[in-house]
């Protein structure tokens, strides 16, 4: 059925639909409706998964009552049979009975899978269409994204208002296939489509701009009804799906694995804060060729590259910055308007920025654990600051190759017992996801600063041991935020909202930030800062006194002379002292000239005062003599 033959109710409903339909499940009727009521407060578009109930008929009175006081709600009723990927074990007739009762209870859209439609007679199918407001015909491929056009032709034999075609992404390019299919068909039909699975997140977010009427989200984590389904809040608040359109720029973080990455949270927070019309998604790439095809055809404007592709992506770059060339590793890619790729390495900034807040690196002895992409960034970054670098790696050959290139030294694990360092950096994944693992033992932490690049968990075993010894302990969160902020600035040309990005990381980790510097060291630093401030203030007071001294010095000597001149009677009584005062103007003049040669106006004023003091007192002295 084309758009020209779609019924009026379907057309009107299409205009009211939000972009996210939230799937509602439950153990019983009461739980299902309670969940629906809670979700409708945030998102008025829901799907009742009736096949999750043992007795679907028990829920219809509650659904009817729900629509009575929430007439704005829009609901899809789904009762998928087991042979179509659902949980309903009844017959086709029983399934149709459940769906018609759902429509009578107020559900505006009835979802019917193609397998059931093909099992109905033409008259039965037409009768069902007349009993529902909107009929949505659906097809699910749980094994891959294959022959979408053929599957759609199979569906078109059965007229429907909406056509829903869901596949499974086995690689990133499957998302491209799905979105191209939606672009081709959505001009003539109301289409709903995306890819399931972890690799299908791109199409779950971007399908709405390719032509899908809506996409699906879970009510909350743990209640997913399909592989790779994300929550409604994540779709709305993190990916801002209501704002995604044809001109939205797409960015992503690529790696294998990638599910643990917090980059989508920090980057989308930064985009929202700085009004960047973009969206940042996870890209689970198992092969580099698959990733490159995805970058070209979506297209993707910027990539954050993580393990294991930091070195593998370098040959695909058309140009790169100095750090990428030196380290041989790239963690940031920009796609030009002409499709060319440019590489940057912001891991170097991620290492140096947190370290230089706590320690001077010039001449410092630094131990780097590891020899991969992150370790290379640490080594060359430290080298640029004049540090003496030592490398310890599980595979000596890799460490030796890096040491030769960077002018560093390789050491063995046994050497740690007799060596001391200013900084120890863990650039290995040891400790990631496992708080019991550590690359070093407590007795081997012969250093002042410990920097662990791992940020999940927030406080690794390595950092706990460092804090126990009152060492400066820097979490991988600081590197993650610093390098991400630099990526944001490269992609957008705007200053990164660093503090908002850091707060988002801690919110996702469910942690409160701990000070990198231990309490004892902090107290010593504060005392030193206080002493330095007191010393600076003393210098300023001394300088101020010296600056004002030349002007204030002559005043006491000239003032008495003025007083004598103003009162002749008093001057007559004290005639001898006046002579003495009159004899000293030259000395006062000399002092003024010697003390402040740079201040000509003050010197001139001093001369005038001295001259006046020398001349005027003489007249009262002569008058006193005549009276005698």
Q: Which residues pair with 410 in a beta bridge?
A: 391
**Nearest to 234, CA basis, from 205, 263, 254:** 205
Enumerate the active-site residues.
310
For residue 275, what are the CA distances in angstroms to 140, 278, 377? 37, 9, 31
| DSSP letter, residue 221 | T
Q: Reading across the β-sheet that carries 162-168, which strands appear in turn? A: 190-196, 162-168, 134-140, 109-113, 74-78, 45-49, 20-24, 215-218
Tell me the pairing of strands 319-320 and 341-344. parallel
DSSP count for the chain of H helices, then E strands: 26, 20
Q: Are 344 and 317 in contact (CB under 8 A)?
A: no
**Crossing angle of helices 148-156/173-185, nearest 10°?**
40
Cα torsion 200, 201, 206, 210 to 10°: value is 10
Spatial distance between the Cα atoms of 183 and 159, rounded to a whole number of angstroms:
20
Backbone φ and ψ of 133, nearest 5°: -75, -50
Residue 218 has which token pair?
A: 């879970």
Distance CA 402, CA 406 (A): 6
Strand order in the sheet with 388-392: 409-410, 388-392, 365-369, 423-426, 449-452, 472-474
490, 346 Cβ separation under 8 angstroms: yes
CB 300 within 8 A of CB 251: yes
């Amino acid at each position: 059925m084309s758009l020209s033959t779609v019924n009026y109710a379907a057309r009107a409903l299409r205009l009211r639909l939000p972009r996210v339909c939230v799937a509602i499940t439950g153990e019983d009727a009461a739980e299902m409706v309670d969940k629906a009521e809670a979700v409708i407060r945030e998102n008025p578009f829901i799907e009742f998964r009736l096949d999750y109930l043992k007795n679907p008929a028990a829920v219809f009175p509650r659904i009817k009552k729900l629509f009575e006081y929430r007439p704005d709600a829009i609901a899809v009723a789904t009762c998928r049979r087991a042979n179509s990927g659902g949980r309903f074990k009844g017959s086709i007739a029983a399934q149709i009975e459940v769906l018609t009762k759902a429509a009578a209870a107020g559900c505006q859209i009835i979802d019917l899978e193609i397998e059931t439609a093909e099992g109905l007679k033409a008259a039965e199918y037409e009768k069902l269409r007349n009993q529902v407001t909107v009929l949505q015909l659906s097809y699910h491929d749980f094994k891959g994204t294959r022959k979408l056009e053929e599957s759609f032709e199979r569906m078109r034999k059965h007229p429907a208002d909406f056509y829903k075609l869901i596949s499974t992404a086995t690689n990133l390019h499957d998302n491209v296939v799905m979105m191209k299919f939606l672009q081709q068909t959505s001009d003539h039909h109301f289409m709903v489509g995306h890819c399931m699975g972890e690799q299908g997140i791109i199409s779950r977010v971007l399908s709405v701009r390719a032509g899908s009427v809506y996409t699906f989200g879970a009510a909350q984590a743990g209640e997913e009804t399909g592989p790779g389904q994300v929550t409604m809040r994540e779709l709305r608040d993190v990916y801002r799906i209501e704002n995604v359109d044809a001109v939205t720029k797409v960015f992503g973080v690529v790696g294998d694995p990638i599910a643990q990455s917090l980059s989508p949270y920090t980057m989308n927070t930064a985009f929202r804060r700085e009004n960047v019309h973009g969206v940042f998604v996870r890209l689970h790439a198992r092969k580099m060729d698959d990733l490159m095809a995805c970058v070209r055809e979506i297209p993707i404007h910027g990539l954050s590259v993580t393990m294991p592709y930091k070195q593998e992506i370098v040959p695909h770059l058309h140009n790169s910055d100095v750090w990428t060339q030196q380290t041989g590793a790239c963690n940031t890619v920009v796609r030009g308007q002409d499709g060319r790729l440019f590489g940057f390495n912001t891991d170097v900034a991620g290492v140096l920025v947190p370290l230089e807040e706590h320690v001077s690196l010039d001449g410092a002895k630094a131990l780097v654990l590891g020899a991969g992409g992150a370790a290379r960034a640490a080594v060359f970054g430290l080298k640029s600051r004049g540090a003496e670098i030592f490398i310890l790696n599980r595979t000596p050959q890799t460490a030796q190759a890096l040491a030769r290139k960077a002018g560093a030294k390789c050491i063995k694990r046994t050497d740690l017992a007799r060596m001391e360092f200013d900084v120890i950096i863990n650039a290995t994944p040891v400790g990631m996801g496992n708080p019991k693992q550590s690359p070093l033992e407590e007795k081997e932490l012969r250093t002042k600063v410990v920097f662990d690049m791992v940020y999940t968990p927030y406080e690794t075993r390595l950092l706990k041991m460092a804090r126990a010894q009152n060492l400066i302990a820097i979490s991988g969160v600081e590197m993650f935020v610093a390098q991400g902020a630099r990526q944001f600035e490269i992609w957008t040309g705007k200053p990164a909202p660093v503090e908002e990005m850091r707060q988002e990381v801690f919110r996702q980790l469910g942690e409160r930030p701990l000070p990198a510097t231990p309490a004892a060291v902090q107290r010593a630093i504060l005392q030193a800062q206080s002493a330095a401030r007191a010393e600076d203030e003393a210098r300023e007071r001394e300088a101020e006194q010296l600056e004002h001294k030349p002007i204030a010095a002559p005043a006491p000597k000239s003032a008495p002379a003025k007083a004598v001149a103003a009162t002749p009677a008093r001057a007559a009584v004290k005639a001898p002292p006046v002579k003495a005062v009159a004899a000293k103007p030259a000395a006062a003049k000399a002092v003024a000239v010697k003390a402040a040669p740079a201040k000509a106006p003050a010197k001139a004023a001093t001369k005038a005062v001295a001259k006046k003091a020398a001349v005027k007192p003489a007249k009262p002295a002569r008058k006193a003599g005549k009276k005698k």
